[in-house]
Structure 1
Amino acid sequence: MKQFSLFFLLLLVTFSCSKNTSEEEIEAVVVTDDFKSYRLDMDLPVERFSDLIESVELVRMEETDNSLLSYIYAIDHTKGELVFTSGREDDVFVFDSKGNFVRKINRKGEGPEEYLNITDLWLEGDTLAIYSMNKSTVMRYNLEGDFIRSERLPASPGHVLSYNKGYAMDMNYRPINDTSRYRYATLDRNLKPNGMYLPVDNRMAIGISLSTNSVAPYKNGVILHRAMSDTVHYMSDKGFTPLLHLNFGNDWYWKESRDVTEQFVSEMGNTEKVWSADAKIGANRIWVLPYTGSVEGRVSPNFFIDRGAGTVHNVDMRKADKSNSVAIALRWDNEQMIFTIQSPDVASFLSELNEDQIKFRPSTTLEEIESSENPVLMWVKFK
């Protein structure tokens, strides 16, 4: 059976309204984007993932000779179609909303209409955009896989996303021009730098990228959250501002006063401290996956933040046998989070829920899931 890898590294509310006895309705908390710090205490009491769930909806990914998947990431969707990559030979897979296989796209190569690798993938309506860092180029195709156009960027950012008819970029300590180094930058529609943010000092000369895109859409702009940072920024037509601070306290590995040497970076592979985090930010909830070193017996937690209530939950994502995580968070879809879960783990996980909490999309049954090795997509609505 295929193994499910938690880390994909390149280097190395619903707010329930009820009525009280006086029939007076409780007003929902309005979540603003004012800067806020959340204390993420690794020693918080753990809560089972299933205990936080109101309901789930599962979709099997049809298994064919052309749609054998090891895992799912960089998922996006449009007009009833799910688009993602599985990391196998830089294929892009298209499925319909019921999990039926539609097609596989692979334009990998060295030609002018091809990409060398898939660093980032996203949709612009029904147009597929692929950023290849090895080529410093964004390639665009239709969902049939036909080439549309390409744009060679004047820099090689670690991650990139379309923004304001140009691009927002996580520079990952690479220069935006011959001399300037900033953590984040933007390009206008003519691919000219029109914004540079947070200059890089000498102590942070080494960059590490995770495979998850550190630039993500959020409301009318984008959020930027580089690797090795505990601060998430928000960029919109109102400017560039810090959005939230992930406060790990003494469990945070990086200290700005320390030089980031190669030795310092290599040591983080064995530290119990958090050296990076992947924050998936929704309008009302946040899911945070911390990255720690490989320490025997230490299971890295997930944190679930209710922005309206200001509460933080330390989530135990382990399987019932206390082994590896049962599901991996991919992205928010309105008020639901899309998770991917390996097919052999589905039945055991669902046994922790009540029958009325579980829904299968048409064409999906538990029997079909168990007969396939493809991972499953699961939409989770939280309490």
Structure 2
Amino acid sequence: MKKKHLFVLLLYFCFTSCYHEEKRGFNSLHHEHIRHIDLSLATPQPAISLIDSIHLISIKLDTTNIISRIDKVIFYKNKLLVVDKNYKSIQVLDLSGSFLCKIGGLGEGPGQYTTIDGVNIDEQNNRVIIFSAAKQKFIFFSLDGFFVEEKNMPVFVENFLLLPNNKIAIYTDFNPAKESKNYDLMILNKDYTIIEEFAPFRREEALGNGDSGNITGNKIGFLYSPTLSDTIYQYVKNSIYPKYQLKFKNKVVPQKYRKNIELFQQYFIKNINNLAFLRKSFWELDSSFLLLPYLDGKLTFAIYDNHSKLVYKETELIAMHPIFEVVSSFSPFIGVKDDKTFISLIDNRKVLKLKNDTSFMQRIKKTPYYDQISQMQDDNTFILAFITLK
């Protein structure tokens, strides 16, 4: 049975996956176009802020619809699908934050799930798709929560993405049917059979733990990265190439340490305060790249501006706007509304702590968000921030 790992700093030292030799689809000709993001550089706050507007939505729930932790928010047709993997629930809210319905429920029967390991929207058919690893099935629901059908998928899907051509891309760390020939990425056709398989990294190219990666869509295909990697790859037209790479003091891990996981571990332990790695969550907007890097051994968040080639780290974003002070460090980017707007989670624990900070309360009082934030009182109050960039 597949083991589930928590995303904590100790995961740095739990490198259990080996890397495959290059199979198909990796295109090294695109290396010259890679965008380097140096997270050691200080970016002065520009005269004109990155932020165009911020809109907050307080989530309203009754005692029968408790949220434990928001993992993902999907914006679709003026509705919000709030995914909570801890309580194993998917709730549909309107744009006022009010509860509308739940998608499916816990159980072993048809249309029920025991785990939620991926959620997406089938826009062509107006359906919600859930992957449950425990059942090894894709489960389909209508937007108002009614069960439609199930499809078997005998691989462990970490995340998946529907492509415009009725195909589906999945990230997996283990395929029981092919233990000797495993792949990170698979492309399925419209009847959910595997038609392409990729292990896109040569050993000297690969870096990170292949145990739990992420894929997010963009205008030309999708972005992919394994967890704790310094590189994000672009998939387009059966080709995969590096698009973004994290640096620290203009350095990346030397190639000789990328060839062997044991060598990498040795290098990592000695250089932990001089490395930058990507955590699972990242999103690409029209002109910005949102990312959660581990920097100096700590989790942080940043926004890379594709036009100016500048990266704005957490401290710089906080200086730019006090809302970033209460954004969740683990969930600052939990969804995308459109090409310029991302959805973030206001951390109630941060708010309760900062209420005793006179300086913070003075800063937030000068914004239109004071009433909503000051009224947060307990662990089951959530606010979503819709942050639109210029």
Aligned partners of 2:74 and 2:336 also within 8 Å: no
Instruction: Indicate how the Cα distance of structure 1 residues 10 and 208 shifts in structure 2: closer, same or farther if over 3 A, else same.
Output: farther
Q: CA deviation at 1:54?
A: 3.4
Structure-2 residue corresponding to 1:31: none
Cα separation, 2, equivalents of 1:226 and 1:90: 24
User: 1:4-32 CA distances to partner (integer Å, 9 max, x unpaired)?
Assistant: xxx856995xxxxxxxxxxxxxxxxxxxx
Q: Secondary structure at the match of 1:182?
A: coil
Q: Secondary structure at the match of 1:366?
A: helix
Q: CA deviation at 1:41?
A: 2.4
Cα separation, 1, equivalents of 2:93 and 2:169: 28
Q: CA deviation at 1:106?
A: 4.6
Q: Which amino acid aligns with 1:313?
A: Y
User: 1:152-184 CA distances to partner (integer Å, 9 max, x unpaired)?
Assistant: 124323322223323212233647745432332
Aligned partners of 1:68 and 1:374 also within 8 Å: no
Aligned partners of 2:282 and 2:289 also within 8 Å: yes
Alpha-carbon RMSD: 4.0
Structure-to-structure mapping, 1:340-379, within 5 angstroms: 340-343=345-348, 345=350, 351-352=362-363, 358=368, 366=372, 369-371=375-377, 373-379=380-386
Q: CA deviation at 1:127?
A: 1.6
**Number of residues of Structure 1 aligned to a counterpart in Structure 2:** 341
Aligned partners of 1:288 and 1:303 also within 8 Å: yes
Structure-2 residue corresponding to 1:24: none
User: 1:236-271 CA distances to partner (integer Å, 9 max, x unpaired)?
Assistant: 4x3323251223246756965353259949x77x94
Aligned partners of 1:183 and 1:200 also within 8 Å: no
Q: What is the identity percentage for the equivalent residue pairs of Structure 1 and Structure 2?
A: 17
Structure-2 residue corresponding to 1:29: none
Instruction: Indicate how the Cα distance of structure 1 residues 56 and 195 shifts in structure 2: closer, same or farther if over 3 A, else same.
Output: same
Q: Does 1:189 align with 2:187?
A: no
User: 1:340-361 CA distances to partner (integer Å, 9 max, x unpaired)?
Assistant: 1024656866854685x6479x
Q: Does 1:286 align with 2:292?
A: no
Q: Does 1:338 align with 2:338?
A: no
Structure-1 residue corresponding to 2:387: 380
Unaligned runs of 5+ in 1: 1-6, 13-33
Cα separation, 2, equivalents of 1:92 and 1:99: 14
Aligned partners of 2:104 and 2:146 also within 8 Å: no
Cα separation, 2, equivalents of 1:252 and 1:359: 40
Structure-to-structure mapping, 1:251-262, within 5 angstroms: 257-261=258-262
Cα separation, 1, equivalents of 2:368 and 2:304: 23
Structure-2 residue corresponding to 1:84: 82
Instruction: Indicate how the Cα distance of structure 1 residues 77 and 58 shifts in structure 2: closer, same or farther if over 3 A, else same.
Output: same
Structure-1 residue corresponding to 2:92: 94
Q: Secondary structure at the match of 1:68?
A: coil
Structure-1 residue corresponding to 2:241: 242
Instruction: Indicate how the Cα distance of structure 1 residues 92 and 369 shifts in structure 2: closer, same or farther if over 3 A, else same.
Output: farther
Q: Secondary structure at the match of 1:209?
A: strand
Cα separation, 1, equivalents of 2:134 and 2:8: 16
The structure carrying a bigger helix percent of its residues is: 2
Structure-1 residue corresponding to 2:150: 150
Structure-2 residue corresponding to 1:304: 303
Q: Does 1:70 align with 2:76?
A: no
Cα separation, 2, equivalents of 1:10 and 1:84: 26
Aligned partners of 1:336 and 1:379 also within 8 Å: yes
Q: CA deviation at 1:128?
A: 1.5
Structure-1 residue corresponding to 2:56: 58
Instruction: Indicate how the Cα distance of structure 1 residues 60 and 206 shifts in structure 2: closer, same or farther if over 3 A, else same.
Output: closer
User: 1:173-228 CA distances to partner (integer Å, 9 max, x unpaired)?
Assistant: 64774543233221112333322223566797963216xxx122222532222223
Q: Does 1:116 align with 2:114?
A: yes
Structure-2 residue corresponding to 1:168: 169
Unaligned runs of 5+ in 2: 1-5, 12-31
Aligned partners of 2:209 and 2:228 also within 8 Å: no
Structure-2 residue corresponding to 1:30: none
